[in-house]
Amino acid sequence: MSLMTSLGVDRLPTDEQLRLIGEILDELPEHALTEAQRRELDRHMTRLDPEVSAQPAEGQVTLTEDQKQVFQRRISELRANPGIGLTWEQIQEHVKGGR
């Protein structure tokens, strides 16, 4: 029996399954994931092709192919070297401090 079946997740409506996925992702300690776990997560996430959505939601922008490539490269660099990034709090402090 699958975990989804044993927990009853398969009986939830799609919108509640998506909400559950979001809550699980929010709780994952990304900094503590192994490379294999990140690849597994990426494998599942790539199934949701962003090109499939017809229009961006209100307040969202559509990226050009060049922008998408830059974004993906930067994500890959950050995943390979998690220490190179700054937290939002560090960025805010830098801006507020005028440094």
CA quadruple 75, 77, 82, 83: dihedral positive or negative?
A: negative
Domain assignment present for 25: yes
Domain assignment present for 7: yes
Q: What is the mean pLDDT of each run of 10 residues along the chain (99 residues)?
A: 88 87 80 80 70 55 84 84 80 78
Domain assignment present for 56: no
Q: Which of 1, 2, 24, 4 is nearest to 12 (CA)?
A: 4
Alpha carbons 37 and 96: distance in angstroms, whole number: 36
Q: What angle do CA 75, 78, 83 make, to 5 degrees?
A: 160
Domain assignment present for 44: yes
Domain assignment present for 42: yes
Is the pTM value of this prediction over 0.85? no
Range of the domain at 90: 3-48+62-97
- Number of compact structural domains in the chain: 1
- Which amino acid, one-letter code, is at 49? D
Domain assignment present for 55: no
